[in-house]
Each structure stands twice: as structure tokens, then as C-alpha cells.
Amino acid sequence: MQIIQEALAGTLESSDLFVRVSPSEGPLELILNSEVQHQFGDQIRKVAQETFAKLGVSEGATVIIEDKGALDCVIEARLEAALLRAAGDKSVEWETLS
């Protein structure tokens, strides 16, 4: 999947996360800022990498996450939404995503 535009998802509220995806040149870059970085930083990165792999995003994007202590399922959902928006995909079959 190719990232063609800037996109946002989520909020900065507690237990949520704010995701900003922008097109870039070069490898995929993930920048994580989390209130629970010390305890869950690695886990959040793992969820993010799995989501990138699932959607086939491996380059050409910068992904910035401002996490406010979201659960894994929320992180995955917000990331998916942001990446699909950033890919300009209007024909998403949301039901098939799991």
C-alpha cells in the first residue's frame, strides 16, 4: 500500500492515541511518544509493525504516534484508519478488516 497524502486518526484523550501519517522518501519511520513508553513502548511498536505488515506498508511514510495509554486493539484500529486514509483508499471494506 502506498502512502500518498497526510492523514490523521484518533484523539489526544486519555486511553486513545493520535496518529499522523505523512508521505516521505525512504524507509518507513515510526516515531512514538507515549505516556507509558517505559512500560509498554516495545509492545506498542510491535502492534504498529504488525499493522504495517498487514497493510503492506514498508516504505515512503512517516508515522507519528502520540499515545495516551491506548489498548492494543485501539492502537491497531487507529493506525489502520490513518494508513488507509493516507493511502487515499475510498473503497475500504471495513468488515473484512479484523
Partner 1 sequence: MSDGLEFLTVEPASDPVARREIVDLLASCGLDYEKQIEFFVTARQEGRLVACAGFEKGIIKDVAICQTLRGSAISLRLVSEVTYLAHSQGYQILFVYTEPHNADFFLGCGFYPLVEVPGQTALLENTPVGIKNYCASLAHYKVEADKIGCVVANANPFTLGHLYLITEAAKSCDWLHLFIVKEDASLFSYHDRFMLAKEMTKDIPNLTLHGGSKYMVSRATFPAYFFKDKGMVGQCRTAVDLLLFRKYIAPALGVTHRFVGTEPFCDTTRKYNNDMKFWLQEPSSIAHSIEVVELERTKRSGIAVSASEVRRLLAGGNFEKIKEFVPKPTFDLIMNKYATSV
Interface ranges with partner 1 (CB under 8 A) = 6, 8, 11-14, 18, 20, 22, 29, 31, 33, 62, 64, 66, 68
Closer by beta carbon to partner 1, 16 or else 76: 16
Closest approach, Cβ 65 to partner 1, in A, equals 10
Closer by beta carbon to partner 1, 57 or else 63: 63
Which residues make Cβ contacts (< 8 Å) with residue 34, sequence separation at least 6? 17, 40, 41, 44, 65, 66, 67, 68, 69
Cβ burial of 55 (10 Å; 0-12, 13-18, 19+) is middle
Closest approach, Cβ 96 to partner 1, in A, equals 27
For residue 2, the Cα-to-chain-centroid distance in whole angstroms is 14
Closer by beta carbon to partner 1, 11 or else 49: 11
